[in-house]
Amino acid sequence: VSSEFRLWSLFTVMSIVDVLTIPSMLLPKAAHKSSWLSLHFLRTLHVFGAYEQISSYGSDDSTRRGLISMILRFVVLVSCFAGAILVLEVLGEIPALDHLELSTDMGDISFFTMVYWIVETITTVGYGDYHPTTWLARVVTACLMVTGFAFLGLEMERIFSIMARNKKFAGSYIKTSRSHVVLVGGGVQQTDELLLLAFTEELFHPSYHRQWPDLLIMAADAASVERAKDILDQQLQWQARQQVYYLAGSPLNEQDLMRSRCDCAAMVCVISDTTGKKDPADEDKETLMRALSVRHTVPQTPLRVMLLLQASRETATGIGIPPRFCFAMNEMKDSLFWQSCRCKGWNTLLCNLMVTTGDEEVSPDNLAASPWLEEYVCGMGYEVYG
């Protein structure tokens, strides 16, 4: 357990909430009677996170799930702000700020009071608890109302524009502290479901969830991106979905490669479509074009290319893509078939070395019933990384 401990996990929002609320819950009841200050209302923040995690494992209707999520957000927002304002009002004013207030015809005011009133005025709430009394102050307030309202409208329009652009997957990936992998190619464009699920299940395997990278999926049109998103939203667990990003763009376009930050990506993977919707030779030609564009634009970024035909792999080597960067599916299938005929169990051994397997995938009851399984599961735990 200690080997998986990460110091940063102590400073997450939920961890801070636990530190502020759990110790007081462990005090004797007598201590609660003599103290009115409580931050237990912050624990409502756990409600929304718990629901999101639970719903990620079910097949609940997305509309119903969205409605429940919206209601929970509203309940958590109201509870937290109501509790915070109650605590702050009972505590009273900060002693150091008492001497900052000045008595005027407008009332007892200070700089902080005016900041509150300005925000109240710009947002057109207007409680009426304060109002200017001098002629000059009223002129400035009138200017504030006009310019503030215009400023707020323009900024809101800008925010909605950004949201609409991101909704159409036309935004840009913002680099985080985590590494990120970019996934492009016919497998994404044609929404090769089996291939996408196999790729993401291995990338986001629970055995090394603390090292999960961000995954950026890019296809040429928003419809293809939307299909890929729908598939992964249904299959990936909630934590993994938070690290998957989607963009509409082409790897043949340098600007789109920069939007996806391929220049600092841990790897760019170009995968071919295996559904057979297109001729394999034509599919490989498009894959090679995408791979060449990536290699020419960001030569320093590691590249992996999945082709379909052995001849295409030879072509890739001839045009400058190193052999270690690409492989052909059909060539690999033929080799695996031949080796499995020579050596029984070869495919099982190779798959166990390439696919991540956790201990939880075999139940203890089965291990007890079949002693040989213990050694088999131990061997499945060994993996090869390249």
pLDDT (tens digit per residue) in 45-59? 777 677 666 655 544
At 267, the pLDDT band (50, 70, 90 cuts) reads very high
What's the token pair of residue 221? 């049109």
Torsion of CA 67, 72, 74, 76, to 10 degrees: -170
Phi and psi of 177, rounded to 5°? -70, -15
Q: Buried b / exposed e across 303-321, counting CB within 10 Å, b at 16+?
A: bbbbbbbbebbebbeeeeb
User: How are beta strands 107-109 and 102-104 bridged, if at all?
Assistant: antiparallel
Tell me the per-residue pLDDT of 303-351, one tens digit each, with 9 for 90 and over. Answer: 999 999 989 999 998 888 888 889 898 877 777 777 778 787 777 777 7
- Region of 126 please: left (phi>0), alpha (psi -120 to 50) or beta: left
H-run or E-run covering 52: helix 45-55
Position 279 scores a pLDDT of 92
The Cα–Cα gap between 306 and 272 comes to 6
Q: Of the spans 12-16, 290-294, 353-357, 358-362, which averages the highest pLDDT?
A: 290-294
Mean pLDDT of 107-130: 81
* Rounded distance between C-alpha atoms, residue 41 and residue 80, angstroms: 6
pTM: 0.59
